[in-house]
Structures are given as C-alpha cells and as structure tokens.
Amino acid sequence: MDIKVLGTGCAKCNTLEKVTKEAIAELGIDATVTKVEDFIKILEFGVMTTPALVVDGKVVVKGKVPKVSEIKELLK
C-alpha cells in the first residue's frame, strides 16, 4: 500500500503523518508512508486544503486530521 501525507510541514500535517503511522502499526499492514511537502506536487492531487491523505493514488482525507480509528477504517 502506498500512502502519502500531503502538507507543507505545519503542525496538523505532522500530526496526520503520526496518526497514519500509528494506524498502520495497529493494523499490521505493509505500507509505505511518504511525506509530500512540495506545493506543486500537492496541487497535482487537486488538493487545495492541507493536510491531506492519499492512499494508492486516491485522496481519502483533506483539510482535517482524523482519529487513528478513522484512518484504520479507511485503510481496511
């Protein structure tokens, strides 16, 4: 599974990365988490509000930091 955290390095973006990694660990799934901070690359996903979470090329969250339990549901 390829997961990208889109954000420019703000506190919410860092928190999204942290809770995403927690969710992956709790689920025990094989996933790669990449942080994308380049604004142009973020725009290529059609995201105007960060943070955002992209799973296998599809934007599943944008503009908020979901709870670990919510991320686990998205990754199942």
- State the catalytic residues: 10, 13
Helix axes 68-75, 11-27, angle to 10 degrees: 60
Residue 51's SS3 state is coil
Residue 58's SS3 state is strand
Q: 13 to each of 4, 27, 28, how far by Cα in Å?
A: 11, 21, 23
